[in-house]
Amino acid sequence: MTESKQVISAVVENRPGVLAHISGLFASRGYNIDSLAVGETENPLYSRITVVARGDEAILEQIRKQLAKVIDVIRVTELSGQNFVERDLMLIKVNAPAAKRGEILELAEVFEGKIVDIGVKHIMIEISGPEQKIEAFVELVRPYGIHELVRTGRVAMLRGVSGRPARAAESGEEKKSKN
């Protein structure tokens, strides 16, 4: 079987311990998380967890099923293969001697980056966009010397208006009523 990356979105109850429970679920089964982003949704009672994981189809199916079983998980949506928008945010501190600053600033402009700090020896740039854009920028500035880099991990949403996703988990109430 071929290995692929999967982008999975889970709406969960916004309370202490939920993220630890879910990341523990991944760790206990030996699944690696490539990217993990968590934040409150439009409703402060819920958070959205966006997970990017890698594996063959059987492993990815197990991840989705295990997530759906967690009582704090309201809904699981597999985004890969659907029409969705994704973004990653990166702050990168690049070595910038005076002779090379113009080149670095031009690269940042081409990639729609924002200069957020300039020091004597470094420039800090903020870039957001799809993972491929972020990675392409990193490779282009690598020859200048990357002093420090931090990324948020991917966040993603389905395009347009959607109802309950096809691969949705049952809500906590639905789970309780079946037991």
Q: What is the pLDDT of residues 26-55, one digit of tens each?
A: 888 888 888 999 999 999 999 999 999 888
- Name the pairing type of β-strands 4-13 and 46-55: antiparallel
* SS3 assignment, position 43: coil
- 10-residue stretch averages of pLDDT, the chain, 179 residues long: 84 93 87 90 94 85 86 90 91 96 96 96 96 96 97 90 44 42
pLDDT at 63: 85
Query: Looking at domain 84-155, does it have CATH number 3.30.70.1150?
Result: yes
Domain with CATH 3.30.70.260 in the chain: 4-82+160-173
Supply 41's token pair. 């949704």
pLDDT at 166: 35
CATH number, domain 4-82+160-173, options 3.30.450.40, 2.30.110.10, 3.30.70.260, 3.90.1150.10: 3.30.70.260
